[in-house]
Amino acid sequence: MSLSHLLLELQQSWPAQDIPNPGAEAPPGSEAIQRVVGYLRWIAGISVLGLFFGGIVAATAGRLWDHHGSGRLGARLIVGSLALALLFGLGYTLVSQFAGGAA
């Protein structure tokens, strides 16, 4: 008897409605993982804010003391922090969409 015949017999002997379909449940330790992710999100948000205000300070200092390199660096920091804030805001939405679509 070949493997395909054996699988065919098993499929015919066990109808699909008799197989239980358990609901989804969170794995053990998921609360700790969520707590760590929350801490990382908080650190990322504070870092973006620090980058923005550091850019303001660098740009202002560069303009006040006529140091063009510092002024340009401050402008780059401000623009970079705005781009990171946009990605930070979109990240949660995108991950939620992907997670909701897979369920």
Q: What is the pLDDT of residue 12?
A: 65
Does a structural domain hold residue 50?
yes
Decide if 80 is inside a domain: yes
pTM of the model: 0.65
**Residue 102 pLDDT greater than 60, yes or no:** no
The answer as to whether 86 is a domain residue is yes
Q: Is residue 79 part of a domain?
A: yes
Q: CA torsion sign, 67 to 72 to 77 to 82?
A: positive
Separation of alpha carbons 19 and 46, rounded Å = 49
User: Does residue 6 form part of some domain?
Assistant: no
What letter represents residue 92's amino acid?
Y
Flag whether 84 is in a domain: yes
Per-residue model confidence as pLDDT tens digits over 46-96: 999 999 999 999 999 998 888 888 889 999 999 999 999 999 989 888 888
What pLDDT sits at residue 11?
Answer: 67
Mean pLDDT of the chain: 85
Is pLDDT above 90 for 45? yes
How many percent of the chain have pLDDT more than 70?
87
Burial class (CB in 10 A: 0-12, 13-18, 19+), 23: exposed
Residue range of the domain that includes 84: 38-103
14 occurs within a structural domain: no
**Residue 87 counted as domain residue:** yes
Question: What's the structural domain count of the chain?
Answer: 1
